[in-house]
Amino acid sequence: MATQQTQKLARILIAPSIILLLLWMIVPLAMTAWFSALNYNLLNSVTSFAGLGNYRYFLSNPAFLSSLLNTLVLVGSVLAISAFFGVLIALLLDQVIVGRRVVRLMLIAPFFVMPTVSALIWKNLLMNPVSGLLAWLWRLFGLTPVDWFTQVPMLSIILIVAWQWLPFAVLILLTALQSLDQEQQEAALMDGAGAFDRFFHLTLPHLARPLSIVILIETIFLLTVFAEIYVTTGGGPGVETTNLAYLIYSQALLQYDVGAASAGGLIAVVLANIAAIFLMRIVGKNLET
């Protein structure tokens, strides 16, 4: 495979992907960078040069720090939930179960539901403080129904997003579990290893790679969660559920301040890159083969 001819060809074949992605990244980014240096408001026909003013404005906005924190909380909690319960449920499904195929179908279904729909269902049919099913359930046990999006807005968002991504983790982890070497397990059994030993010394290491994949893919999507917030809380109350993506959105499309939104966009890009580097460091070595 290593002739110069094939190497040259290989470079030609990878070129379209690289060029397209570069364009896709650089052109809008360059424009964003340009806008970020302008006083550019869609409601105001006069644009002028702003220098670093937009950055100062965006960074000094108290909503910025809290949105950063919200992003981290959201990503972290959903990852934790889907990793922990993902392993648990996958282990459960790996047992002998009557009607396993049906259970499997039910478990993975949320992954196929579009975020707007899942947000709408949760918001209206389940979490509505008066007619929602959860409210009814609470009353059934003599409790006062929770007004989810007012009292625990962030938790509600986390629940909805985790519901969508947990099935993905289960799907991948379960497949990995089913490939676990049966003989190895039996050898460990012969060696007198208990269920816990087997789990920690055989099963968990075997799941390291699929877990890394789950974390990598989910992080990519969780960093940019938008529809769930847009549909349910609109970032509120206050800025309690505003993540970075939503903050920029509200800056640009709700306040028509393209300059500040662009500055925010660039900041988000820098932060995303930092996150990416961290993630690759942590997860990357598990993906090596």
Residues 70-99 that bind other proteins (CB under 8 A): 89, 92-93, 95-99
Residue 116 binds to other proteins (criterion: CB under 8 A): yes
Residues 1, 43, 46, 195: which binds other proteins (CB under 8 A)?
A: 1
Q: How far apart are CA 123 and CA 119, in angstroms?
A: 6
Say if residues 86 and 107 touch (Cβ distance below 8 Å): no
The phi and psi torsions of 41 (rounded to 5 degrees) equal -120, 135
**Contact between residue 248 and residue 264 where contact means Cβ atoms under 8 Å apart:** yes
CB of 154 to other proteins, least distance (A): 18
Shortest spacing between CB 24 and other proteins, in angstroms: 4
Residue range at the interface with other proteins (CB under 8 A); choices 46-54, 76-84, 195-203, 247-255: 247-255
Interacting span for other proteins (CB under 8 A) from 43-51, 76-84, 194-202, 263-271: 263-271
Report residue 187 as tokens: 């050898």
120 lines the binding site for other proteins (CB under 8 A): yes
* CB 11, CB 241: distance < 8 Å: no
- Give the C-alpha distances (Å, rounded to integers) separating 27 from 19, 55, 245: 11, 20, 20
98: amino acid identity, one letter: V
Residues 9-68 that bind other proteins (CB under 8 A): 9-11, 13-14, 16-18, 20-21, 24-25, 27-29, 31-32, 35
- Counting residues that bind other proteins (by CB under 8 A) gives 113
Closest among 121, 124, 146 to 135, alpha carbons compared? 146
Interacting positions 147-206 with other proteins (CB under 8 A): 163, 166-167, 171-172, 175-176, 178-179, 182, 185-186, 206
